Amino acid sequence: MSDLASASRDTTPAGYRKLVAQALAGVPVGAPATDVWRALGAAGALSTLYRRGNALGPVADPARLGALLRAVDARADNGATLSVLVQAASALPVLGSGRSGPASAAPSPVAAAWGHALAGTAQVALAATDEAAAGSDLSGLGTQVRIEGDQLVVHGGKRWVTNAGTAEYLLVLGRHHPGRHFTNFSWVLVPARTAGVSVSPAPTGLLANSATGHIGFDSVRLPADHLVGRNGRGMAVFARHMSTERLAGAQWAVALTGRVLADTRERLLRRTVDGEPLWHNAVVRQGFAECLVRVAQLRALCDSLAETAVKGQSLSAGTLLKSAVGLTVDTVLARCAQLQGADGFAAGGAQGVRAEAGVLGIGGGVTELMLAGVADMSEQLLAELRT
Ligand SMILES: Cc1cc2nc3c(=O)[nH]c(=O)nc-3n(C[C@H](O)[C@H](O)[C@H](O)COP(=O)(O)OP(=O)(O)OC[C@H]3O[C@@H](n4cnc5c(N)ncnc54)[C@H](O)[C@@H]3O)c2cc1C
């Protein structure tokens, strides 16, 4: 039996970490994100990520999700990490929630896509942010999903979608009814090669390996079995799984800031001024320590809210986590970038990492919107603090 096969039978946290490490060992740093995904799928790191049997769809094991993101982040390719994160924590749970069908029937297109994605042989992009509305105004989205007899017609456009340029499958949130009511929205599985689909790269040099792009749907026709879950359940399913993506964002933030802090500390130990390492300077040490405390706080919040977040039963866990990410990442990375001096501007240096990590305060909900959510839930959150 190969090491990889024996590791895949080891269901302990250490066994999962070993499985992921072995899967990624053969993928050169800087390889396309599709290679990273394929290796993870082939090793069984995606099929063993979720707990099954939940009526609302797959639930990620939080410790495994954290281990997966830490291992991918260690490759220092933020585009590839974003690509894996959005699929593992958001697209696959939503897709998996709609895969069930009659046991005897041939697998539905949704079940087939789920199988390919788990095996790593296909990528799935999750397209929610719409060209017709601000991303912070999700229920204002304009992309339409019409049911015409036994067909679906998808018309509209999506912006800034991770994996748009590489995904075989596009998971698209559209509306079947005008208005903002949460039952007006549904998910549709659109194979990327369907007639009427067009993809263009997003105009950015950041997160290059994430294949982020914009997608157009020009009256795209599909059989009705490409609806993911029941008609009108789109927002409910999304809300249910959103907290998992927010936990994943926080787990990635801890891994990324911890990695940059470690690198910064090494540099400060080596860099001398008047014969003394900069690390011995009291101001430098204090600034660094403040950052370390912030990251340790974020890590503690991840640990305490992880189970609640993946079960998706309360909005507050994800909202708190994503707010904390927004308040932590840029402060820490800005300090690290400053402490790296001119070297922070080198390719792959802390200044560039900081710009790429900005996605943690934008993608999947901007920090201000999260903080507004915390204020909305403040009565409940304050009561929890008193228990
Ligand atoms: C690299 C990258 C990858 C992405 N991947 C995906 C993906 O895979 N799938 C997907 O569907 N989307 C994706 N997105 C889109 C992302 O989810 C949206 O960008 C995000 O929801 C914000 O929407 P917006 O950019 O339209 O900003 P807007 O909603 O226009 O907001 C602009 C700014 O206004 C301020 N603001 C907004 N709302 C409020 C408020 N309520 N209170 C106070 N201030 C506010 C904030 O400063 C905010 O940054 C991605 C984005 C990026 C950058």
Q: CATH number, domain at 253?
A: 1.20.140.10
Supply the residue whose CA is at minimum distance from atom 6 of ligand 1. 161
Q: Which of residues 174, 200, 230 is at a domain's end?
A: 230
Is the distance from CB of 85 to CB of 245 less than 8 angstroms? yes
Do residues 220 and 172 both lie within one domain? yes
Angle in degrees, 0-180, between the axes of helices 234-270 and 62-73, rounded to the nearest 10: 50
Kindly give, in sequence order, each residue whose CB lies less than 8 Å from that of residue 16, ignoring residues fewer than 6 positions away: 10, 45, 48, 63, 64, 67
- Which has the closest alpha carbon to 118: 189, 21, 25, 50? 50
What is the C-alpha to C-alpha distance for residues 279 and 260, in angstroms, rounded to an integer? 15
For the record, the structure tokens of 141 come out as 């989205």
**Does the beta carbon of 162 sit less than 6 angstroms from any atom of ligand 1?**
yes
For ligand 1, atom 1, the nearest C-alpha belongs to: 359
Q: Give me ligand 1 centre to Cα 102, in Å.
A: 38
Residue nearest to atom 27 of ligand 1 (CA): 135
What domain range includes position 8? 3-119
* Residue 104 pLDDT: 54
CA 348, CA 208: separation in Å to the nearest integer? 12
Q: Which of 366, 368, 374 to mutate to test the pocket of ligand 1 (most atoms within 8 A of CB)?
A: 366
Of the residues 119, 145, 165, which one is the last residue of a structural domain?
Answer: 119
Write down the residue that tokens 């008609």 correspond to: 231
Tokens of 291: 């950052």
The number of folded domains in the chain is 3
249: which 2 tokens?
Answer: 């964002």
Q: Hey, is 56 helix, strand or coil?
A: coil
Per-residue pLDDT of the chain (387 residues; tens, 9 = 90+): 344 444 446 778 899 999 999 999 999 999 999 999 999 999 999 999 998 756 778 999 999 999 999 999 999 999 999 999 999 999 999 999 988 755 556 789 999 999 999 999 999 999 999 999 999 999 999 999 999 999 999 999 999 999 999 999 999 999 999 999 999 999 999 999 999 999 999 999 999 999 999 999 999 999 999 999 999 999 999 998 999 999 999 999 999 999 999 999 999 999 999 999 999 999 999 999 999 999 999 999 999 999 999 988 789 999 999 999 999 999 999 999 999 999 999 999 999 999 999 999 999 999 999 999 999 999 999 999 999
Q: Where are the alpha helices (DSSP H) in the chain?
A: 3-9, 13-25, 33-43, 62-73, 78-86, 92-97, 109-119, 234-270, 282-311, 315-339, 350-357, 367-376, 378-385
Residue having the nearest C-alpha atom to atom 40 of ligand 1: 369
Q: Are residues 365 and 249 in the same domain?
A: yes
- Residue 54, pLDDT score: 67
Which of 93, 119, 145 is the C-terminal boundary of a domain? 119
Q: Residue 215 is part of a domain; what is its CATH number? A: 2.40.110.10
* 78 alpha carbon – ligand 1 mean position (Å): 18
Closest by Cα among 89, 22, 25, 92 to 62? 89
Centroid of ligand 1 to alpha carbon of 2 (angstroms)? 44
State how far the Cα of 151 lies from the Cα of 146, in Å rounded to an integer: 8
Under 8 Å between Cβ of 335 and 341: no
Shared domain for 194 and 249, answered yes or no, is no
